[in-house]
Structure 1
Amino acid sequence: MGTDRVDGSLYTKIENHIATVEFGHPASNSFPSVLLERLSAEFDKLSSNNEVHIIVLKSEGKKAFCAGASFDELIAVSSLEEGKAFFSGFGKVLNAMRKCSKLIIGRIQGKAVGGGVGLIAACDYAIATEAAAIKLSEFTIGIGPFVIAPAVERKMGVGALAELTIAATEWKNAYWAKEKGLYAKVFETITEVDVEIDLLTNKLAAYNPEALNAMKKALWENTNHWETLLTERAETSGKLVLSEFTKKALEKFKK
């Protein structure tokens, strides 16, 4: 069952040194700002919890993994400050995932758009179903995937980032995403994904936590500048969202 709460939901379960973080929102698991704040704080908290050796990130239901940022909030942006704050939401989550001392495994059951693709790219390892197609559709409303671009580029390369951004109306299937390095494995069903994640996380949880933490640091070397970079990128998007082009495009989408 999906959540029907307007601000979405976030639950964490810790068992056998494995923390499972599950988010949900009635609008295809999209993120209002308040839910992004909660997710950032959750990663910070788990980072310093010695009981946790490994983290699984998942979303509710059997359909979309994540439709990105809240469309209603995007439409409501009316000033540069608001715009920057809105787009900084995903930036904060990506930085929290990057700085988190635990490896993060993504469990991707369905489609991801925009910020949702960024979330997957910030996981250290992701396992997906065949239904987990991806799209960066930001150009269609006059903005760009600026905040999440560093995460997508780091994981998939600049070629894949360009392809996703420029072909803004095209879905790329899960096998394409795997070929480009976003997914480690793709399975037909959610059940198979869950079995694989259980096997993997139980192995990882039994490994030396110090080795896992040291590897996490090594994987994210040379990304400390993201702290300022993602804020600058949020400002770029914040400016663009106030443009005439975007206002008109959003009106059309709304109708």
Structure 2
Amino acid sequence: MLPSDKNGTLLTVIENKIATVQFGHPASNSFPRVLLDRLTNELTYLSDNEEVSVIILKSEGTSTFCAGASFDELLAVSTLEEGTRFFSGFANLINAMRSCKKIIIGRIQGKAVGGGVGIIAACDYALANLESSIKLSELAIGIGPFVIEPAVSRKIGKTAMSEMTLSAHEWKTASWALQKGLYSKVLETKEELDLEVDVFSKKLAGYNPEALSEMKKIFWEGTAHWDKLLKERASISGRLVLSDFTKNALIK
């Protein structure tokens, strides 16, 4: 793995038709805008790479899958344009995952917050372990999970999405996420998780890639309007992040 820096790291390894994409950031695998853009571009590239049939999306480390948006960058936002541009990074990533021609398997080895939950929801199949609890904490800092809501609601439904959003300080267990449909399977240990990811991805990579691509289109039917919708949602978050409530909450 390449050494971490303030903008995070991204590494892709392609082997036997499987592309393993690993992102990382020293601040609990959070996403500054530049890392969001790099991951978006990488998935767009892999979508058209004929040497790839399946993508595994994972993060570095053991305890946290993804802490969502970079708090440092959120604090630095000073205009509506800057705020909208920042949250558009998550909109672009989710849309890239949605429109990617390859099946994306999420390997979730730890906790996920905010945008990290949105990334999990945008995976086509998510495998996790018992430590992979989730939380939508946005309301607690004065904004809301506007950009990721369509992806999360698509997986777990409006009722569970509402429950997560309003209980902004409450962690939901991996078992809860499995029951609601965010996770496809939950393993007890990281070792069992890695084995399951390996076995499942190899099985998928052995299937007809054209059939996988056509099935992915069906999985995501009815979401073409997300290109516009998620950008509109980004502008809501971009406005709210300028509030005194949010600024004060971020520095506590």
What's the TM-score once normalised by structure 1's chain length? 0.97
Q: 1:163 to 1:3 in 2, by over 3 A?
A: farther
Deviation at 1:3, TM superposition (A): 4.7
Q: Which amino acid aligns with 1:213?
A: S
Question: Which secondary structure does the structure 1 equivalent of 2:107 belong to?
Answer: strand
Q: Which amino acid aligns with 2:193?
A: V
CA distance in 2, matches of 1:24, 1:246: 26
Contact 1:2/1:25 (<8 A) preserved:
no
Q: Identify the residue that residue 135 of structure 1 maps to in structure 2.
A: 135
Q: Identify the residue that residue 111 of structure 1 maps to in structure 2.
A: 111
Q: Identify the residue that residue 205 of structure 1 maps to in structure 2.
A: 205
Contact 2:2/2:11 (<8 A) preserved:
no
Deviation at 1:2, TM superposition (A): 9.0
Q: Within 5 Å, give how 1:31-180 maps onto structure 2.
A: 31-180=31-180
CA distance in 2, matches of 1:55, 1:7: 23
Q: Which amino acid aligns with 1:241?
A: V
CA distance in 2, matches of 1:226, 1:4: 32
| Moved segments of 4+, more than 6 Å | none
CA distance in 1, matches of 2:247, 2:146: 18
Aligned length: 252
CA distance in 1, matches of 2:140, 2:91: 21
Aligned-residue CA RMSD (Å)? 1.0
Contact 2:98/2:220 (<8 A) preserved:
yes
CA distance in 2, matches of 1:146, 1:3: 33
Deviation at 1:248, TM superposition (A): 2.2
> 1:84-127 CA distances to partner (integer Å, 9 max, x unpaired)?
00111111000000000000000000000000000000000000
Could you tell me the percent identity over the aligned residues?
Answer: 65
Contact 1:2/1:24 (<8 A) preserved:
no
CA distance in 2, matches of 1:3, 1:230: 32
Q: Identify the residue that residue 232 of structure 1 maps to in structure 2.
A: 232
Deviation at 1:63, TM superposition (A): 1.1
> 1:57-96 CA distances to partner (integer Å, 9 max, x unpaired)?
0000111000001010000000000000011111100000
Q: Which amino acid aligns with 1:194?
A: D
Q: 1:28 to 1:129 in 2, by over 3 A?
A: same
2:232 corresponds to 1:220: no
Query: Structure 1 stretches of 5 or more lacking a match?
Result: none
Question: Which secondary structure does the structure 1 equivalent of 2:169 belong to?
Answer: coil
2:188 corresponds to 1:185: no
Contact 1:56/1:104 (<8 A) preserved:
yes
Q: 1:3 to 1:167 in 2, by over 3 A?
A: farther
> 1:154-197 CA distances to partner (integer Å, 9 max, x unpaired)?
01100111011000000000000000000011011111011111
Contact 2:2/2:9 (<8 A) preserved:
no
Query: Structure 2 stretches of 5 or more lacking a match?
Result: none
